[in-house]
């Protein structure tokens, strides 16, 4: 069959936007479904806006009708015809009240039988869908996600442009500098043995822009990090990157709050109440066992150390004597769901996080305590009172070092809430996490490393601890968290080159290392820098939450899988020896 052309026809309407009035229209798209009933043929035509029904009947021109009989799923069609009311309305479609009586049909491209049904791809395994990603992207749900992602980017630019920000591009090939994750390296053909790095973020460049006098910068920046993947992480991602001069932390947070409020209202019609709640890092860890708390439900962590300190239970006593604590969460109405067998699974989960074990009180008909034989008179009642435990509740108790206890109970809090289905849908709880620790200890080496990046400004009252008590140094840094997902990190930056030098030294860097890695930035500070700070907001994660998607794959057009490969194009791939020779590279 010879394929048709578009000659003499031009699209007048998108499929999902055909008006509910009699008129002649021309539509284009993919054949979604074909129903051939002999003297009647119906074709659902699909484009990114939705579906419209094409109708062919006894009055249709014979040539056009015969052409319609040849159409199969995913053929690319162009159709001209008259809009008319449908006899049977389809309320599931935007165009469900009308159909197009076709007078001219063009088959622009034929499709072989596809590996899976495009509009039913939910039932297909991920590997097959990713191999044929261009087909899966025809799925209406994925197309809705891509369109929403576009709207997020559009509103983002509009808001920041309206607030005096300049969009400035920064290099995609830059100097490799330590920023937390592993760099993707780009070998240089011209400079033998030397490499560029793909940016983990535009951090250094945006600070240099502040020094250059561009006091409000914005960029939808592509970033790259060679780290293990998970549902909310891809090796390449888009960051809404911003920096501001002559401001403090409150100014930046207020600006971003205005953006969040406009974004959620304009894109999904949700009103975000301002100001967004502020919570210190210490409070967040103590209450929720996480620096990215999901505050949509309670089940907060309770410190019961004082309540149990006199109980002759070696697990509790040992933890307290070693400077740790005993803490608990009350899983309200959890006793019926969590049988002894189910609790054993929670114990294994806790051990997987790092806890030595898990104590519990399961109050079904009567309180059943896993450490009952160690309790004195009235001890069980005191614990139940301290944890507000009632009949039907399950109390989970962990005793260990504080960091182990908090991370364990924080994780179990989420696991049990999901199991009990108590996390409200359609609710958006934002929270600022402030006063972040400046340093964190590397568990392997014992060295103190920067929790964010080494350009973060310590809080004024913590400067005296830089040399003596690094674990007590808090930073002028903050995170924006939504429903347990970290959306962004921000901080005020160091602008005094002497203090910057001191921070590098506190991180164990020698003068030679400082000069080799950051010499150009330190030099720039010598010529004066305005006070400045900024943030990077994850556009992909924003889109994932706003689209109610389960994974970043659902909001990224061509995503990578767990091992950082792309199944569709089969990359990364080998290259010719000639290319490696030009780059002075030999594989081993």
What is the DSSP code string of 484-548?
TEEEEEEEEBP--HHHHHHHHHHTT--HHHHHHHHHHHHHHHTT----EEEEEEEHHHHHHHHTT
Please report the pLDDT score of residue 443 as a whole number: 66
pLDDT band at residue 455, thresholds of 50, 70 and 90?
Answer: confident
Band the pLDDT of 13: cuts 50, 70, 90.
very high
pLDDT above 70 covers a percentage of the chain that reads 96
Instruction: Determine the pLDDT at residue 470.
Output: 74
- For residue 306, the model assigns a pLDDT of 96
Which residue matches tokens 């400004």? 457
Say how far apart CA 299 and CA 9 lie, in whole Å.
Answer: 63
Q: Is the pLDDT of residue 57 over 70?
A: yes
Asked whether residue 453 carries a pLDDT value surpassing 90, the answer given is no
Lowest mean pLDDT among 167-181, 212-226, 423-437: 167-181
Which tokens is 47 given? 């484009």
Q: What is the pLDDT of residues 73-82, one digit of tens each?
A: 999 999 999 9
Angle, helices 340-353 vs 402-420, to 10°: value is 140
C-alpha span between 373 and 175 (Å, rounded): 62
Average pLDDT over residues 527-543: 95
Q: Which residues have CB under 8 Å from 438's CB, separation 6+?
A: 450, 451, 452, 456, 458, 462, 470, 473, 474, 475, 477
What residues does 491 pair with on adjacent strands?
477, 534
Q: Kindly indicate the confidence band of residue 180, based on its pLDDT and cuts at 50, 70 and 90.
A: low
Distance CA 214, CA 204 (A): 14
Confidence of residue 181 (pLDDT cuts 50, 70, 90): confident
**Crossing angle of helices 281-288 and 402-420, rounded to 10°:** 60
pLDDT band at 518 (very low <50, low <70, confident <90, very high): confident
Nearest to 413 by CA among 541, 430, 405: 405
Q: Residue 337 and residue 335: Cα distance in Å, rounded?
A: 6
Q: In angstroms, what CA-CA distances link 457 with 40, 62, 507?
A: 72, 77, 14
Q: Classify 303 as helix, strand or coil.
A: strand
- Neighbouring residues of 169: CB distance < 8 A, sequence distance ≥ 6: 219
- CB burial class (10 A; 0-12, 13-18, 19+) of residue 153? middle
**Mutual angle of helices 511-525 and 203-211, in 10-degree steps:** 40
Q: Does the pLDDT value for residue 464 go beyond 80? A: no
Task: Determine the average pLDDT of the residues in 168-179.
Answer: 88
pLDDT score of 441: 72
Residue 296's Cβ-side half-sphere holds a number of Cα atoms within 13 Å equal to: 19
Residue 475 structure tokens: 């930073």
pLDDT over 80 (residue 442): no
Measured CA to CA in angstroms, residue 220 lies from 166, 169, 237, 534, 541 at distances of: 12, 9, 10, 14, 14
Higher pLDDT, 544 or 464: 544
Q: DSSP strand E in 227-343: where?
A: 236-245, 277-280, 302-303, 325-331
Using alpha carbons only, what angle is made at residue 275 by residues 537 and 219, rounded to the nearest 5 degrees?
20
Structure tokens at 49: 């806006």
Alpha-carbon torsion (542, 544, 548, 551), positive or negative: negative
Mean confidence (pLDDT) of the chain: 93
Q: Which of 204-208, 262-266, 443-447 has the lowest average pLDDT?
A: 443-447
Q: What does the pLDDT average to over 204-215?
A: 96
pLDDT at residue 576, as a whole number = 93
Look up tokens 């029904």; give the residue.
Answer: 53
The secondary element (H helix, E strand) that includes residue 368 is strand 367-369
Strand duo 477-482 + 448-450: pairing: unpaired
Q: How many angstroms separate the CA atoms of 354 and 328, rounded? A: 16
Take residue 131 and report the two structure tokens written for it.
């191999």
The separation between the first and the last C-alpha atoms of the chain, rounded to the nearest angstrom, is 52
Question: Peptide bond before 572: cis, by omega within 30 degrees of 0?
Answer: yes
- Residue 160 in this model has a pLDDT that exceeds 70: yes
DSSP for 76-100 reads EEEEEEEEEE-SS--TTSTTTTEEE
pLDDT of residue 511: 85
Residues near 229 by beta carbon (within 8 Å), at least 6 away in sequence: 235, 560, 561, 562, 563, 564
pLDDT in tens, 277-324: 999 999 999 999 999 999 999 999 999 999 999 999 999 999 999 999
- Residue 448: band (very low, low, confident or very high) from pLDDT cuts 50, 70, 90: low
H helices of 333-487, in order, are: 340-353, 379-386, 402-420
| Cα(321)–Cα(62) distance, integer angstroms | 91
pLDDT beyond 80 at 471: no
Higher pLDDT: 509 or 577? It is 577
Per-residue pLDDT at 428 = 96
pLDDT score for 336: 94
| 179 confidence band (pLDDT: 50, 70, 90) | low
Is the pLDDT assigned to residue 465 strictly greater than 80? no
Structure tokens that stand for 556 in this block: 């990224």
Higher confidence at residue 503 or residue 282? 282
Averaged pLDDT, 322-331: 96
Q: Is 584:193 a contact under the CB 8 Å cutoff?
A: yes
Dump pLDDT digits (tens) for 344-390: 999 999 999 999 999 999 999 899 999 999 999 999 999 999 999 99
Cα(274)–Cα(253) distance, integer angstroms = 11
Pairing of strands 41-47, 24-36: antiparallel
Q: What is the rounded distance in angstroms from the CA atom of residue 59 to the CA atom of residue 34?
A: 19
| Token output for 568 | 């569709």
């Amino acid at each position: 069959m010879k394929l048709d052309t578009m000659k003499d026809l031009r699209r007048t309407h998108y499929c999902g936007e055909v008006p509910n009035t009699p008129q002649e229209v021309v539509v284009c798209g993919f054949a979604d479904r074909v129903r051939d009933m002999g003297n009647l043929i119906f074709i659902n035509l699909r484009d990114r806006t939705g579906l419209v029904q094409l109708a062919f009947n006894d009055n249709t021109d014979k040539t056009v009708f015969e052409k319609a009989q040849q159409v199969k799923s995913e053929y690319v069609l162009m159709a001209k015809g008259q809009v008319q009311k449908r006899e049977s309305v389809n309320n599931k479609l935007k165009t469900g009240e009308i159909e197009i009586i076709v007078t001219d049909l063009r088959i622009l491209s034929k499709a072989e039988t596809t590996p899976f049904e495009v509009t039913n791809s939910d039932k297909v395994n991920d590997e097959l869908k990713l191999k044929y990603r261009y087909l899966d992207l025809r799925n209406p749900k994925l197309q809705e996600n891509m369109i929403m992602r576009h709207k997020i980017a559009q509103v983002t630019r509009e808001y920041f442009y309206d607030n005096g920000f300049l969009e400035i591009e920064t290099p995609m090939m830059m100097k490799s500098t330590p920023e937390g994750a592993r760099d993707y390296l780009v070998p240089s053909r011209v400079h033998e043995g030397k490499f560029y790095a793909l940016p983990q973020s535009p951090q250094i460049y945006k600070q240099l822009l502040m020094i250059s006098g561009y006091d409000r910068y914005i960029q939808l920046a592509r970033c790259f990090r060679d780290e293990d993947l998970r549902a909310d992480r891809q090796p390449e991602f888009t960051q809404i990157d911003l920096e501001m001069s002559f401001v403090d932390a409150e100014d930046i947070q207020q600006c971003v709050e205005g953006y969040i409020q406009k974004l959620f209202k304009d894109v999904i019609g949700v009103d975000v109440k301002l100001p967004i709640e502020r919570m210190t890092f210490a409070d967040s860890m103590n209450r929720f066992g996480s620096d990215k708390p999901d505050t949509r439900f309670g089940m907060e962590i309770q410190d019961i150390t004082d309540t149990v300190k006199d109980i002759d239970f070696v697990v509790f006593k040992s933890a307290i004597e070693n400077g740790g604590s005993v803490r608990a969460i009350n899983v309200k109405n959890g006793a019926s769901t969590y049988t002894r067998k189910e609790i054993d699974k929670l114990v294994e989960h806790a051990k997987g996080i790092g806890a030595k074990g898990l104590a519990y009180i399961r109050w079904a008909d009567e309180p059943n305590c896993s450490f009952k034989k160690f309790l004195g008179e009235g001890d069980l009642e005191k614990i139940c009172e301290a944890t507000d435990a009632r009949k039907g509740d399950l109390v989970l108790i962990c005793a260990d070092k504080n960091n182990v206890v908090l991370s364990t109970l924080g994780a179990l809090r989420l696991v049990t809430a999901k199991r009990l289905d108590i996390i409200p849908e359609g609710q958006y709880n934002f929270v600022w996490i402030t006063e972040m620790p400046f340093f964190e200890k590397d568990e392997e080496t014992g060295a103190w490393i920067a929790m964010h990046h080494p350009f973060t400004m310590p809080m004024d009252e913590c400067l005296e601890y830089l040399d003596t008590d690094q674990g007590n140094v808090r930073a002028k840094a903050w995170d924006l968290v939504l429903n347990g997902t970290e959306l962004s990190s921000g901080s005020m930056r160091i602008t005094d080159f002497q203090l910057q030098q001191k921070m590098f030294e506190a991180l164990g860097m020698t003068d030679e290392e400082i000069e080799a890695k950051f010499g150009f930035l330190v030099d720039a500070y010598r010529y004066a820098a305005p006070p400045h700070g900024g943030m990077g907001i994850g556009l992909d994660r924003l889109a994932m939450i706003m689209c109610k998607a389960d994974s970043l794959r659902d909001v990224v057009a061509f995503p990578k899988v767990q091992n950082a490969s792309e199944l569709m194009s089969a990359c990364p791939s080998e290259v010719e020896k000639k290319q490696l020779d030009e780059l002075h590279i030999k594989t081993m």
